[in-house]
Amino acid sequence: MSSKNPDTRHRILEAARTMLEEEKAPKVRMGDIAKAAGISRQALYLHFPTRAELLVATARFLDEVNGADAKFAACSEARTGRERLDAFIQAWGGYIPEIYGVGRALLAMQDTDEAARAAWEDRMQAVRSGCRSAVEMLDSDGSLCSEVTAERAVDLLWTLLSVRNWEQLTQACGWSQAEYVREMQALAQRALIRAEN
Amino acid sequence: MSSKNPDTRHRILEAARTMLEEEKAPKVRMGDIAKAAGISRQALYLHFPTRAELLVATARFLDEVNGADAKFAACSEARTGRERLDAFIQAWGGYIPEIYGVGRALLAMQDTDEAARAAWEDRMQAVRSGCRSAVEMLDSDGSLCSEVTAERAVDLLWTLLSVRNWEQLTQACGWSQAEYVREMQALAQRALIRAEN
DNA sequence: CCCTTTGCTTGACACTGTGTAAAGTTGACA
DNA sequence: TGTCAACTTTACACAGTGTCAAGCAAAGGG
């Protein structure tokens, strides 16, 4: 639509990706990204009208580069609910650190920018639908814990796997990624899967 | 130290409390609070040097007014680990909505303001120590799930009970406060308590 | 009754970051 | 040679935080 040189656009996205990988993603400014892309701030606005839109585009770009969709899709090859749950949590454990920086930046502006909030929510639908498919399989499997409805279980799982949780457990509690994934697999199993009696 | 009229200070805190109770706490500005307190913006800065410090003071004020400490302390009267876990989750379920607004405001600026981040973390120590005492009792009780260490369980519980989770489940998933507390009690029990065999 | 201090007021302003506007430059292409 | 597209530079509006300086009004002591 409004974009000009697709090459420049690509350079911007690459620059944004690199910048936003770093620790302090929410502090990355438009000017920083422009400088890293080797263009002026105004040229940046020619390609992306707002910061939120640039961040969203970067998130999409990241997903594309990392083949996020394919990784999630691969989970549906699992043949039991339990396997799918594990596969999904594993996939998610790899996904979150990939988009962590951009996600943090987007989340940080969600209070002031409704578009950013909606965009991030939209982004998270991939994760949420992964939760849903895992839980549905548990349900049809008969392995879903009888004390929880499928709908409830989706919400719970989705919340357990939110970026915020990841953040809290890795940063404040010092958990490693591997620990986190393992622990969440165990937690989800204990909380969602019918106890074998 | 720097404070002048303690009466004015109190009026400010009351005004801040009221303003921050509302939906869009992170958007509440210094000027808004000053106006609500019936003073000028500059007078506000005479009492609280930064926005972060005002928010922290407001949080403390809220805790005091609501007798938060007493409510958490009452949990230790429980005589079994299970009871204490339930009592604590119940207390927490009442606490979070009380400080929700201020907490949201503080969390929203944690990326740009290190002081705000540290202050909120500090505030959350009350909740975290509640988690610790509940888990410790489960542990000495013999009712803690054998698959998880006590330290791990504290981290997990703390994360389950974070404001962000509350937020996600109530806002995005439409859960009510009562549902949330009930469901978290159940989840914590399934995830942390040894299965009766 | 004056005089000082205290607590606040008003008005101006620096600073940061986003986003807009306008005019100038450069290179490709016809 | 002329024109168009993509980008540049400079300037600026706007919002919000925090600072500074001068003024004012009331309380209280000499």
- The predicted pLDDT at position A135 comes to 95
Tell me the average pLDDT of chain A.
91
Footprint of strand D on the protein (CB under 7 A): A 4-5, 7-8, 38-43, 46-47; B 27, 29-31, 41-42, 45, 49-52
**B197 assigned to some structural domain:** no
Beta bridge partners of B144: B193
Burial label for B122, CB within 10 Å (0-12, 13-18, 19+), is exposed
Residue-wise pLDDT tens digits, B82-104: 999 999 999 999 999 999 999 99
- The predicted pLDDT at position B197 comes to 55
If asked whether residues A37 and A100 sit together in one domain, one would say no
Distance CA A146, CA A194 (A): 6
- The predicted pLDDT at position B2 comes to 42
Q: Is the pLDDT of residue B122 over 90?
A: no
What size, in residues, is chain B? 197
**A55 assigned to some structural domain:** no
Q: Which amino acid is residue B98, in one-letter code?
A: E
**A58 assigned to some structural domain:** no
Distance CA A99, CA A68 (A): 10
If asked whether residues B30 and B116 sit together in one domain, one would say no
Indicate yes or no: CB of B164 within 8 angstroms of CB of A169: no
- The predicted pLDDT at position B153 comes to 93
Flag the least confident range among A40-44, B1-5, B80-84, B177-181.
B1-5
Three-state secondary structure call for residue A193: strand
Q: Is the pLDDT of residue A197 over 80?
A: no
CA distances from A192 to A73, A116, B162, B180 (A): 22, 32, 20, 16
Q: Domain containing A10 — which CATH number?
A: 1.10.10.60
Nucleotide nearest to B28 (CA to C1'): D16
Q: Is the CB of B46 under 7 A from strand C?
A: yes
Domain that holds residue A149: 65-192
If asked whether residues A71 and A17 sit together in one domain, one would say no
- What is the predicted ipTM? 0.87
Confidence band, pLDDT 50/70/90 cuts, at residue B134:
very high
Q: Domain containing A175 — which CATH number?
A: 1.10.357
If asked whether residues A88 and A115 sit together in one domain, one would say yes
Chain A to chain B Cβ contacts (< 8 Å): 70
If asked whether residues A137 and A169 sit together in one domain, one would say yes
If asked whether residues A18 and A82 sit together in one domain, one would say no
Any residues with CB less than 8 A from the CB of B132 and at least 6 apart, and which? B154
If asked whether residues B20 and B111 sit together in one domain, one would say no
Q: Which amino acid is residue A164, in one-letter code?
A: R
Residue-wise pLDDT tens digits, A158-176: 999 999 899 899 988 999 9
Question: Which has the closest alpha carbon to B196: B150, B142, B160?
Answer: B142
Q: Which residues of A touch B156 (CB under 8 A)?
A: 183, 187
If asked whether residues A72 and A96 sit together in one domain, one would say yes
**A28 assigned to some structural domain:** yes
**B154 assigned to some structural domain:** yes
Domain count for chain B: 2
- The predicted pLDDT at position A17 comes to 96
If asked whether residues B75 and B124 sit together in one domain, one would say yes
Q: Is the pLDDT of residue B1 over 70?
A: no
Distance CA A181, CA B74 (A): 35
Nearest to B26 among A26, A111, A164 (CB): A111
If asked whether residues A176 and A131 sit together in one domain, one would say yes
Radius of gyration of chain A (CA): 19
Provide the 8-state DSSP code for A77.
G
**B129 assigned to some structural domain:** yes
If asked whether residues A100 and A38 sit together in one domain, one would say no
If asked whether residues A45 and A69 sit together in one domain, one would say no
Confidence band, pLDDT 50/70/90 cuts, at residue A38:
very high
- The predicted pLDDT at position A2 comes to 43
Q: Which residue has the tokens 């949990």?
A: B75
Q: Which nucleotides of D are covered by protein (CB under 7 A)?
A: 5-11, 16-21
Residue-wise pLDDT tens digits, A121-153: 888 988 899 999 999 999 999 999 888 899 999
